[in-house]
Amino acid sequence: MNGSRNTLVGTPVVAAPGKIFLVGEYAVLDGGVAVLAAVSRYAIAQHLLGAEPQSAVVEQAVKGALAAIGEASAALPPGSVMVDTDSFCQGKFKIGLGSSAATAAATVGAIFETAGLTIEGQRHRIFAVAEAAHRVSQNGVGSGADVAAAVYGGFIKFIRPGEGPPIIEPITVPAGLHLVVFWTGEFADTREMVESVRAYARMAPSSYRMLMGALCTTAERFVSELAAGRATGAVVAAGRYGRQLAELGKAAGVKIVTEAFEQAAALARELGGDAKPSGAGGGDVGVALFATPEAAALFARACQPALSVLDVSLARAGVYRRSADEGPVETRGPFYVG
């Protein structure tokens, strides 16, 4: 983010991580709990003199951030925030690790830092502004959970009640829980998937409520198993959640759990674990969960080349300011990295 670009001397560089869902897809849109992990793919943002917004989410995030900081915005010269999301690509393909949510968080963080408002003292405000901007740019689709992961980092529990602000809490996972994040090589349109499920909810409300109730109950069970330190129980609950996602997709006439995910889950179960989509499904990114590192390593080796194991680790820090030549701080945590 320098060289040929007109970079302001001393302009802060801000990074925000991507995310994976462990459980809670779709249920979180209906008031259920979701558990997410921030992962080490980063949107890198910097306010640049004379720049124009490069996307709708950047435009909305800049507009919201300037409004939020009020008179402090007078310290910023005319321009916009430029955001690099290349780390969200696998080869030439953008993969579903929450690049737009990370972009919103990094953009707002860059505006705050450039105006002299430190991220650490403004994290809740940054979330509120970034989530609102992301929602507008996505035409109201989404829960905001991916933005929360980008802002707060680590493992989080996220609930969006019918009224009031989201409930966001850090969560501890058992030391024995091991994760493998993979890419199916397929692509999915999250908005299209969510709209199909919403159409089903309108068409068959009773059936929808029954399926959604099962998802919410299983997500709560997953949280309870984590709180009790039971890695095996968490794996079982996540696997059940994946199968319930498949039932929801079948009822809604949309393939949430594709054949690639079914094969990944079958392989994971042979090794004592389980696997499921991470996000809206229909392809893209998945997560396999195991109670031993040996099983995770076996899965990571056995699933290739049909699936691509993603080289990601836990991003304990959410959106943060870094120097232009600094690499983001990453820790492996429970993730298996091949």
Q: pLDDT tens across 190-235, in order?
A: 888 899 999 999 999 999 999 999 999 999 999 999 999 999 999 9
Collect the ranges in the chain with pLDDT lower than 50: 1-8, 337-338
The class level of CATH for 13-172+316-322 reads: alpha beta
Supply the pLDDT for residue 191.
85
Closest CA to 87 of 333, 334, 313: 313
pTM tops 0.75: yes
Supply the pLDDT for residue 251.
96
The helix (run of H) or strand (run of E) holding residue 45 is strand 33-49
Instruction: Determine the CATH number of domain 178-309.
Output: 3.30.70.890
Neighbours of 259 (CB within 10 A): 11
Supply the pLDDT for residue 188.
79
Q: Which ranges constitute the DSSP H helices of the chain?
A: 56-69, 99-114, 119-137, 145-152, 190-203, 205-227, 231-252, 259-270, 293-302
Parse the chain into domains and list their residue ranges: 13-172+316-322, 178-309
Q: pLDDT tens across 127-165, in order?
A: 999 999 999 998 887 889 999 999 999 999 999 988 888
Cα gap 1→84, rounded to integer Å: 8
Cα gap 337→179, rounded to integer Å: 9
Q: Are 13-172+316-322 and 178-309 in the same CATH fold?
A: no
Cα gap 278→60, rounded to integer Å: 26
- The count of C-alpha atoms lying within 13 angstroms of the C-alpha of 166, restricted to the half-sphere facing its C-beta, is 27
